[in-house]
Structure 1
Amino acid sequence: MPATDRSVTEALHKRRSVRAFTGQPVDPALLKEIFAAAQRAPSGGNLQPWQVTVLTGEPWQAVKDEVAARIAMGREGQQPEYDIYPRELTEPWTDRRFGVGEALYASLGIPREDKRGRLARFMDNYRGFDAPVMLFLHCSRIMGPPQWSDMGMWLQSVMLLLVEHGLASCPQECWAMYGETVRRTLGLDDGQILFTGLAIGYADEGAAVNRWPVPRAPLGEVIDWQGF
């Protein structure tokens, strides 16, 4: 399949966390091409700490089934690999997190008081939003924050390359809430730690959940210019 968005700028503006996918399968040869290109992502000391498991079909369904069983156990079933958000998150980050969540549910027409409706929609996370492919990104537990940063650069490279080829994705750290179950189902030993999932497929362009605007902080909030 030919690339559709050749400009990095175009890919950056078009990329978003897609939460509704079509049932169209993804060509594994295309994924191999994308992953081969993503290997050019930088890493300190050229460690390339990222390790990846890519699933579709029955193996992907097995992960969903195993995690669903843990979810049914309530809080006792959770197996967090790490704190996804800081426990003492403050402004402006709390406002950004709250704001994007409210905008998401507003796009679905689910008001704040509809707790059941919001929970049902949240559970779509653990179905990968019906994406046909799930990528799990993990690494050796000996790796530290710099190597986790390297994994993020690899992941961003993959997401932009997916856009370039007409595909969509949604990074999902929520899978790390059931890290032990995911790792066991993938056949990974305890020497590995699960970082995130990445749902991959073709976006349902007509779905409202894929069309609401996602704001970004203005440059004045994040960049301090000195000496210019």
Structure 2
Amino acid sequence: ARRQRQMCIGDRDVNTARLVRAARRQDVVLRLIPRIGDFVVPGTPVLAVHGGSVPPPRRLRYAVSVSVERTLHQDLAFGLRQLADIALRALSTSVNDPTTAVQCLDRIVQFLAAVAHLPLGPVHHRDRDGRVRLVQDGPEWDDLVDLAFEEIRWCVAGSPQVTRRLMAGLDDLLLLVPEDRRKSLVRHRALLVQTVERTVAVAADREFALLPDRQGIG
């Protein structure tokens, strides 16, 4: 199925109930191709149909809302993207505001703690009989962790306030998350240690920069 509105460039909102009803009437399974927040090139497929013929266009019309901007509605990763962007701007040499970066990390860690035990990844929407009718891709845990920490970690050299807060945040999350979600956190912690060891010449300064501190530096 294709959406033909040429001005629609961003997948913003999905009416899952409408799509499930359309798939049930046609006795098919629909798969949403773009993830919420993806850039959608006008004219490219938005829905794939499995198990039968395409539902009538009138039943799919307005089921996927698109816009020129991402929004927080239904877009789990967008809030993290905004927080990471604010932290990156704060850590730039032109701004140099590590306290703002630490405040962003406070919220990033809070967000990850809130979703630590939630099911993530593909979502299977079922009809009233329990049959899967719509498959919708979503971010995995590792995707969210990388979005939260990868770019920030690249910019923390020389800012012990931020490295200390980041270490504390990773340690707190390692205590909270299930065993199968620890790997990506361990990876970022090890890479943070490597970054500090590579960029800070004095051993005492390295030790100070890697000491977990939820306030950064007091």
Q: Pick the TM interval, shorter chain.
A: under 0.3
TM-score by length of 2: 0.24
TM-score by length of 1: 0.23
Largest Rg, 1 or 2:
2
Task: Specify which structure has the bigger relative contact order, considering alpha-carbon pairs within 8 angstroms and separated by 6 or more residues.
Answer: 1
